[in-house]
Structure 1
Amino acid sequence: MKINELKGKCKSHLSGFLRGGLVGILVVMQFSVLIGLSFWLRSFTVYFYVILEVLSFLVVIALMNDNRCPSFKIAWICIVLLFPISGHVMFALWGKSTANKRLTNNIRAKIERGNTFFEFNDAILKEIREDYKEIERVSNYMVSEGFPMFKNNSITYYPMGEDTFDAMFDDIRNAKKFILIDFFIVAEGGLWDELHSILLEKIKAGVEVKFLYDDFGAMIRTPKNFSKMLESEGIQVRVFNPIHKYTDKLFMNYRSHQKIVVIDGNIGYTGGMNIADEYANLIERFGVWKDTAVRVFGEAVWGLTVTFLQMWEVASTGEYLDYSIYKPTIEFEANQTFACVISDGPVNNPSNPIENIYKQIIHYANDYLYISTPYLIIEEDMQLALIMAARSGVDVRIITPFIPDKKHVKILTNYNYGVLLANGIKIYEYTPGFIHAKSIINENCGVVGTINMDYRSFYLHYECGVFMSDKKIIGDIKADFTMTLKQCKEVTYAEWKNRPLGLKIYQSVLNIFSTQM
């Protein structure tokens, strides 16, 4: 097995090992306490259990009055009742909607500061209201959530990671003023070596380079002194949510899953890709790795720039940037391609705009609704939105992977098929390998970005995407989706119902804890 592939496998299982190990320790600790009590505190055991039961009852009441989704509350109620000692410890570590109040307020303040650099053009909304009524309501909603709508954009869709990186690296080579880069995963390999070499050349040419990455996403597949090495080369570096600083959130929650590249304020990229060789099919991990992205040239790049700068300040201590120096450096040609950069994160819980934007795209579909996602673990309200669309005559199709990167998530994804298949939604699995693409489109608009169709993306991670309304770009995404269907195996409801009994039982139990996956 290749070294990079082995490291990738280690990374993909690390969170499970860490969380599973700590949970195991907590459970052993619980039974040790119980055994100790039974021997040394026989006369007080009843009182101790009464205290635990009262505490569990209070936690259950608090959860039932929480405004988070039902499946989240059910999972924690089960954990607390099954493990009345260690369950409370686990809830204290991972059951909160945000990392901690002080940190959340600090993040929210920096994001709100960034939002003040947006300008909202009422003329664009007026034009949409008069001539593009099919996107009027979703546009109004995005603006109400602080995401301005832009026009005068040229958007290119890339159906594979290797296509994305070829174009992206060419644009980076041509940078004159600054380069902003943000990825969840950074891994040593051929892709990083090429990007690193280009960045060093741009540093020598006097171009400013800011490089932001998530600590969890990079900690296994980069050297220990990675950030210091880059800083010594003249690259400005920030690490999002360092694991050593927030040990109670050591695992997968509250990560920056965003992927953004901005060149000179004029060109921007986002999509599912990361800086790792499998994303460009330089190595094989799970067969052919299919990922998608968009290149934006136009006014909407400012949305990507602001999102990047917000997260840069979040990852910094006491640093406040001059946003104005990262404005576009050219005038863009007038056109009618509307675009809006959307972003989200746990600071918005329980009101999450990206999830609501997805629901509006589903609700306003009349002809078709096509979704690509590596994970399909959705709440009942999202299931009902998809079912309502299908029952209203919309052609609803979803592509997920045939070869998974996480087996337990694949098992849960398959479990979610049932209610959708039973209501006329068509589901396909990408047989050549792993599809990591994240997109949703109807006949009028769509989103390409970093957002998976699961609880983690909608509630626990910082995400971003580009909402687009343009016949050509939507047509390009649809054409790729249709072409991809030819490489997929359709899943039937009869096939789903006939899965083994043991798998059905395992899925039912696993589904209780779906929000923890």
Structure 2
Amino acid sequence: MKLKKILSSILSSNAAFVIMLLLQIGFLMLAVMSLGERFVFVYFALIVLDIILAIYLTNKNEPVSYRVSWIIIISIFPLLGGVSYLFIKLTQQFPKSIDMRNQKQTRTLLVQEDSVMEELKLRCPDSVNLARYVTDFGLYPVYRNTHAEYYPLGEIQFENLIAELETAKSFIFLEFFIITEGYMFDTMSELLIRKAREGVDVRLMYDGIGTGMLNSVKPFRKLEEGGVKCKVFNPFRPMISSVQNNRDHRKIVIIDGHTAFNGGTNLADEYINRKERFGHWKDTAIMIRGQAVWNYTVMFLQLWEKAEDEEFMKYQPQHPEVFSFLGSDGFVQPFSDSPLDEEPVGKRVYMELINNAREYIFITTPYLILDEEMMNALGFAAKKGVDVRIITPHIPDKWYVHMIAWNNYAALTATGVKIYEYTPGFIHAKTCVADGKTAVVGTINFDYRSFYLHFECGSVLYDCSVIKKIVRDFEKTVEVSHLVTAEDCASRPVFKKAAGAVLNMFAPLL
């Protein structure tokens, strides 16, 4: 077990990328050192390259924090900084067919009903612009006839998920970032194999690095032998490429096209507190029934395989009018966010909720790595008198991320933002609620990776009764959390403050 843990750490997404990068840097250093007397000419050429890249980055349309991080690296490591940037950019060879398919098929398969948008405008005038943005640029429409349920813990979600999976008659689509062996996986495997043998089309997609290379063969062989179709998304390859950073961070389960689950919960025992890793693990999720499930069905199939529109339509409920009885409870807009375009939909949805909040904005996130734009938005909201509260973990899963978060705590608390750390352990939930009227539940963290590098998804809820449950759960969670004060920030050891400040310079690259 110890050997497996060591290997799992070595082969994790961050470790694998760092090891390959160090090997590449070592090779470049040996190559440069072998030039002998010609080294001075190579050195001069590299300096010129660094200057050109610094100018290029200064004027490039990318997040300021990302550009600054690379300029710092190029300045500190003049021999290899510029070369490393070029190498990573030039080796970005993610299949473009996926992004093109997203753009083309989403527009033809997901069409916004004008009557729904008009009704949303009447009932939620402050939210209609956000819905239009997600429809026009996220390419996912908003729906009326959809009901949502909220689960405040992973174990509650899992119990309901198993019950719903038992009812499947036609197909089950599952997509996870992390899958590990244990009670949760074993329970799910037995059910999925049984359903596949009953004739249900069962498909399971998992991320090649998030799940880990040690978990990418053996646990899934039994599933495939039992009739479950398994697919690895973006498997790890022994080469350095920025595409290794573009992970499938989504967690989706779709049942017969009429029911879907989405949230922070992966398929591993710590998510349902069957295994303790960082104290008590708090996660959240929602289940939706109705027309809006079609958005999740389309986003799953787009990453699964190249298919024609007719193949997609096989998985759409043939009689959507049966969902009309659900139509009295607000509006739901599931959406996906891709790193292959220049539209950070997830971040902009969060920004809109923060900027438009009048009374309060409640946020839960495991990681609080913010750029200047998000820091200013949160701080300005607090200065306007909005009650801004953020819950983060007290026991982190990544020490360096926690140090960066504390670096942000000091700046945010100075503006009036209230930061709480979840005292029982680790909070993995990704929720955002504004004024009890609009909410987002999904997979999107408040960090650079979720905003710019990962495939993500979530649901925007407009005027849904379930939002009250999300607010009550947030308030109950605050009661068992520690309020971080300015004194807490000031009393931190100097070396931790310094470490956090240094790490913060490279936060967009972590």
Instruction: Output the TM-score relative to the length of structure 2.
Output: 0.93
Please, which of 45, 48, 53 is the counterpart of residue 59 of structure 1? 53
Secondary structure of residue in 2 paired with 1:210: strand
Q: Distance in 1 between matches of 2:206 and 2:194?
A: 21
Counterpart of 2:19? 21
Q: Is the 8 A contact 1:160 1:280 kept in 2?
A: yes
The answer to whether residue 270 in structure 2 is matched with residue 278 in structure 1 is yes
**Deviation by residue 1:322-374 (Cα, 9 ceiling, x = unmatched):** 1111112551113242000111121122x212211111111111111000000
Secondary structure of residue in 1 paired with 2:265: coil
The answer to whether residue 196 in structure 2 is matched with residue 198 in structure 1 is no
Q: Distance in 1 between matches of 2:10 and 2:151?
A: 25
Counterpart of 2:285? 293
Q: Which amino acid aligns with 2:170?
A: K
Please, which of 64, 77, 83 is the counterpart of residue 71 of structure 2? 77
Counterpart of 2:313? 324
Matches within 5 A, 1:105-124: 105-115=96-106, 116-124=108-116
Q: Is the 8 A contact 2:197 2:226 kept in 1?
A: no
Q: Distance in 2 between matches of 1:36 and 1:222?
A: 41
The answer to whether residue 365 in structure 2 is matched with residue 368 in structure 1 is no
With 425-434 and 210-219 compared, the bigger mean Cα shift is at 210-219
Q: Is the 8 A contact 1:4 1:188 kept in 2?
A: no
Secondary structure of residue in 2 paired with 1:51: helix
Counterpart of 1:474? 467
Identity of aligned residues (%): 37
User: Are residues 488 and 219 of structure 1, via their aligned partners in 2, closer, same or farther at CA, if it must alter by over 3 Å?
Assistant: same
Matches within 5 A, 1:94-133: 94-95=88-89, 99-100=92-93, 103=94, 105-115=96-106, 116-133=108-125
Superposition deviation, residue 223 in structure 1: 5.3
Q: Distance in 2 between matches of 1:432 and 1:5?
A: 29
**Deviation by residue 1:414-456 (Cα, 9 ceiling, x = unmatched):** 1111221110000000011110000001121010000000000
Q: Is the 8 A contact 2:146 2:331 kept in 1?
A: yes
User: Are residues 151 and 367 of structure 1, via their aligned partners in 2, closer, same or farther at CA, if it must alter by over 3 Å?
Assistant: same
Q: Distance in 2 between matches of 1:13 and 1:200?
A: 29
Q: Is the 8 A contact 1:4 1:189 kept in 2?
A: no
Q: Is the 8 A contact 1:11 1:221 kept in 2?
A: no
Superposition deviation, residue 183 in structure 1: 0.5
Superposition deviation, residue 13 in structure 1: 7.6
Q: Is the 8 A contact 1:27 1:83 kept in 2?
A: no
With 224-233 and 480-489 compared, the bigger mean Cα shift is at 224-233
User: Are residues 221 and 278 of structure 1, via their aligned partners in 2, closer, same or farther at CA, if it must alter by over 3 Å?
Assistant: farther
Counterpart of 1:91? 85
**Deviation by residue 1:76-120 (Cα, 9 ceiling, x = unmatched):** 122223223332343234457x933xx353121111233021121
Q: Which amino acid aligns with 1:447?
A: V
Q: Is the 8 A contact 1:253 1:461 kept in 2?
A: yes
Counterpart of 2:381? 389
Q: Distance in 1 between matches of 2:58 and 2:276?
A: 45
Q: Which amino acid aligns with 2:15?
A: F
Q: Is the 8 A contact 1:390 1:425 kept in 2?
A: yes
Q: Which amino acid aligns with 1:209?
A: V
Q: Which amino acid aligns with 2:190?
A: S
With 325-334 and 416-425 compared, the bigger mean Cα shift is at 325-334
Secondary structure of residue in 1 paired with 2:112: coil
Q: Distance in 2 between matches of 1:56 and 1:367?
A: 48
With 219-228 and 156-165 compared, the bigger mean Cα shift is at 219-228
Q: Distance in 2 between matches of 1:222 and 1:409?
A: 25
The answer to whether residue 211 in structure 2 is matched with residue 218 in structure 1 is yes
Counterpart of 1:438? 430
Secondary structure of residue in 2 paired with 1:422: helix
Q: Is the 8 A contact 1:7 1:220 kept in 2?
A: no
The answer to whether residue 387 in structure 2 is matched with residue 398 in structure 1 is no
The answer to whether residue 454 in structure 2 is matched with residue 461 in structure 1 is yes
Please, which of 402, 421, 428 is the counterpart of residue 429 of structure 1? 421
Superposition deviation, residue 193 in structure 1: 0.3
Q: Distance in 2 between matches of 1:143 and 1:496?
A: 41
Secondary structure of residue in 1 paired with 2:126: helix
Query: RMSD over aligned Cα, in angstroms?
Result: 2.3
Q: Is the 8 A contact 1:104 1:347 kept in 2?
A: no
Superposition deviation, residue 63 in structure 1: 1.3
Superposition deviation, residue 268 in structure 1: 0.3
**Deviation by residue 1:165-222 (Cα, 9 ceiling, x = unmatched):** 1001110011011101000111111100000000111112111101111111223452
Secondary structure of residue in 2 paired with 1:347: coil
Counterpart of 2:410? 418
Q: Is the 8 A contact 2:9 2:15 kept in 1?
A: no
Q: Is the 8 A contact 2:120 2:331 kept in 1?
A: no
User: Are residues 93 and 395 of structure 1, via their aligned partners in 2, closer, same or farther at CA, if it must alter by over 3 Å?
Assistant: same
Unpaired segments of 5 or more residues in structure 1? Answer: none
Secondary structure of residue in 2 paired with 1:341: strand
With 318-327 and 205-214 compared, the bigger mean Cα shift is at 318-327
Matches within 5 A, 1:255-270: 255-270=247-262
Superposition deviation, residue 9 in structure 1: 9.3
Count matched residues. 503
Counterpart of 1:151? 144
Q: Which amino acid aligns with 2:344?
A: N
User: Are residues 17 and 365 of structure 1, via their aligned partners in 2, closer, same or farther at CA, if it must alter by over 3 Å?
Assistant: same
User: Are residues 10 and 225 of structure 1, via their aligned partners in 2, closer, same or farther at CA, if it must alter by over 3 Å?
Assistant: closer
Superposition deviation, residue 406 in structure 1: 0.7
Secondary structure of residue in 2 paired with 1:168: helix
Q: Is the 8 A contact 1:19 1:251 kept in 2?
A: no
Q: Is the 8 A contact 1:26 1:86 kept in 2?
A: no
Q: Distance in 1 between matches of 2:334 and 2:464?
A: 18
The answer to whether residue 351 in structure 2 is matched with residue 353 in structure 1 is no
Q: Is the 8 A contact 1:15 1:251 kept in 2?
A: no
Q: Which amino acid aligns with 2:96?
A: N
The answer to whether residue 175 in structure 2 is matched with residue 182 in structure 1 is yes
Instruction: Output the TM-score relative to the length of structure 1.
Output: 0.92
Superposition deviation, residue 144 in structure 1: 1.7
Q: Is the 8 A contact 2:383 2:416 kept in 1?
A: yes
Unpaired segments of 5 or more residues in structure 2? Answer: none
Q: Distance in 1 between matches of 2:329 and 2:15?
A: 50
